[in-house]
Amino acid sequence: MAAASASSGFIQSTPQLRNQFTSDPSLQRIFTNRLPKEVSEDVLSDLHDFGQYVVSDEIFDYVQDAESNPPTVETYDAFGNRVNRLRTSYGWKKEKDLAASHGIIAAAYERKYGQDSRVYQFLKYYLYAPSSALFTCPLAMTDGCARVLEIYGVRRDVFDHLTSRDPSNFWTSGQWMTERSGGSDVSGTETYATKLPGTENKYEVSGFKWFSSATDSQVALLLAREHEKGKLSCFLGDIKSGGANIVRLKNKLGTKPLPTAELELRNLKAELIGDRERGVAVISAVLNITRIHNSVNAAAFLRRSLEIVKEFSLVRKVFGQPLHTVASHVHTLADLEVRQNALMQITFRCVALLGKSECGSASADELFLMRCLPSLVKAYTGKRALAGVSECMEAMGGVGYLENEPALNIARLERDAQVLTIWEGTTNVLCDDFVSVVHAKAQHSVSAFRRFLEKTLQNSDRSLSEQILGSFEVWAKYIQGSTLASLRSRGRAVGFYFADIVSAALLSEDAAFDNDPRAVEIARRYAARLSGSDPLAKFSENSASDYNTAAVFHNDYL
Ligand code: UCC
Ligand code: FAD
């Protein structure tokens, strides 16, 4: 027997990622069941090709370059002059170019597919997210800014840059809300705006912003007040004209390629957007969009981690057995599949609501859902995805914990997934918003949610539908019988249980489209969470394990 050496003996064959459009059953269900046929036919080849591109050597070279060369800043030159030299990596810049040329933002505003343009845009963005080196972060804020300019019908010139497909013309936008006194509570804002004499809405803004992630942007939407006792207004800052000085870059756990900085604003040129002293309400259009982006990233990070782990289990053997045949391992992966499918369904319902609200085709109930869901779903998907990505890391054993080559690096995905629970509103702050909005008109909220669930479940399996509606009635009774203070103290439990109900209903609706056995089983398992019953109880050991295998290794995997 020859002893192993550094280059001989057992060497694990390397898992290979396949086309992320065709390999992902959760994406396929949205693509097939949630897009009109004429739209899905029209976008098929684009998404298919992009699904291959996002696992290409080319894009992972950009990711690797961006991860290995985090941004740097020079704040003084050799002679002591104040300068503002932010340097980002080659890979980061290439990610920006490809985001523009692939129309990741433009697709939403060209509205080629009307209200379904958002679903198409976010399917593409979802494929892109885990290969984007977190360029999805500036894209989210850019999308939010474009929407605000569109709503208020101002600065068409800036809007055109933000929605351009031409990399040399494409701008991004920052979003500056957080200050040292608080990010959840922005009432302590110490940034002041002074109106320029003789102008309608032109200002100069000075203050200190504690977190700025899209620091290489050309513009930013920001909050400032006109005088000490005044409320916050929203402004569009012109970063190119100077006046936003980088104090230092943040030293972060993850999101390494992203230039997150502290900024001192000194007479930054800015323009008032929307009504004076309505800044939070104006910027909430950005919040709702960036929160949906956050949810799509969460679903995408968990999906990519699962794809890596599935491929690993096909090449790895343990105790003489292929890992993909080890029942307990496959059961763990099946649980993750179920969870990821749920995140996908609830996230893309928010996407669809956004599309309808923008195109004026949303009903009153849908507009109310659009007020409630994006914040809650951001909190829910962020938390659930982070736990799932961590589980995937373990499913690769010791190698999962390593900084693998970029295509297979779950460590990077986990670091980046952690921030999804913090920025754009922490979990408890978002759940607090949800219960406060629901409680403000409790009777109306419960009726609107009931109508929504009944409609969603109208073609579903009867016992599944009764189970989900029964859970909702328990929840509704609790809401109606509780004080605001008590709901706020349990905001996360109240919000997440509602998100579980909505996810189960959407999975049931999805299963009812074609009664696909895998989709039916996933819906059944998710609904079983609501009553805490064991979804496998009625199965023998063998049939449960067959279901697990089918859930994970669908179609032609094995
Ligand atoms: O973190 C940031 C950027 C990170 C990078 C981006 C990544 C994007 C994802 C990509 C992933 C790769 S930027 C900072 C984000 N900061 C937050 O999210 C703040 C969290 N805190 C909150 O959300 C709070 O609830 C606040 C700040 C909104 C609370 O402020 P106020 O002043 O107490 O505001 P109110 O009173 O709650 O709301 C003021 C008005 C109300 O309308 P009126 O006055 O008509 O009653 C609210 O109904 O604003 C309305 N409003 C909303 N409307 C508030 N929130 C919303 C909403 N979500 N939708 C609609
Ligand atoms: P705090 O608000 O002090 O929160 C501390 C704790 O208190 C949290 O656990 C929170 O949940 C809890 N808490 C606060 N209020 C409540 C409440 N009412 N109910 C229950 N619990 C509560 N901000 C920007 O404006 N622009 C950016 O570009 C940006 N980029 C960022 C990039 C990164 C990498 C990170 C980490 C942050 C970024 N942020 C940005 C800031 C981010 O939005 C804030 O950190 C976040 O909103 C929380 O605010 P805070 O840090 O002040 O924490």
DSSP state of 4: P
Predicted confidence at residue 542, as pLDDT, reads 60
- Nearest-atom number in ligand 2 for the CA of 426 is 11
Query: Could you identify the atom of ligand 1 that is nearest to the CA of residue 255?
Result: 12
Q: Which atom of ligand 1 is nearest to the CA of 288?
A: 58
pLDDT of residue 547: 75
Q: d(Cα 205, Cα 191) in Å, to the nearest integer?
A: 7
Q: Report which secondary-structure segment, H or E, holds 446.
A: helix 442-456
Minimum-distance ligand to the CA of 125?
Answer: 1
Pocket of ligand 2, candidates 134, 184, 217: which has the most ligand atoms within 8 Å of its Cβ, to mutate?
184
Instruction: Give the model confidence (pLDDT) of 42-88 as tens digits.
Output: 999 999 999 999 999 999 999 999 999 999 999 999 999 999 999 99
Most informative mutation of 175, 386, 422 for ligand 2 (most atoms within 8 A of CB) = 422
Radius of gyration of the chain (CA): 24
Residue 123 one-letter amino acid: L
Q: Which domains does the chain have, with CATH numbers?
A: 25-162 (no CATH), 173-277 (2.40.110.20), 426-538 (no CATH)
53 vs 23: CA distance, rounded Å:
14
Q: Label residue 276 exposed, middle or buried (CB < 10 Å: 0-12, 13-18, 19+).
A: middle
**Cβ partners under 8 Å of residue 42, min gap 6:** 113
Burial state string for 162-177 with b = 16 or more CB within 10 A and e = fewer than 16: bbbbeeeebbbbbbbb
What pLDDT does residue 557 have? Answer: 60
Name 27's Cβ contacts closer than 8 Å, sequence gap at least 6. 20, 21, 123, 126, 127, 303, 344
Residues of the chain with pLDDT under 50: 536, 538
Q: For residue 413, how many other CB atoms are within 10 A of its CB?
A: 25
* CA atoms within 13 A of residue 53's CA, in its CB half-sphere: 17
Q: Kindly tell me the burial class for residue 245, based on how many C-beta atoms sit within 10 Å of its own C-beta (0-12, 13-18, 19 or more).
A: middle
Position 106 scores a pLDDT of 98
Question: Residue 143: CB within 6 Å of ligand 1?
Answer: no
Could you give the ipTM of this predicted complex? Answer: 0.99
Neighbouring C-alpha atoms within 13 Å toward the C-beta of 235: 28
> How far, in Å, from the CA of 224 to the mean position of ligand 1?
15
Cα separation, 94 vs 132, whole angstroms: 10
Q: What is the dihedral of CA 282, 286, 292, 293, to 10 degrees?
A: 180
Per-residue pLDDT of 158-201, as tens digits, reads 999 999 999 999 999 999 999 999 999 999 999 999 999 999 99
Is the CB–ligand 2 distance for residue 430 below 6 Å? no
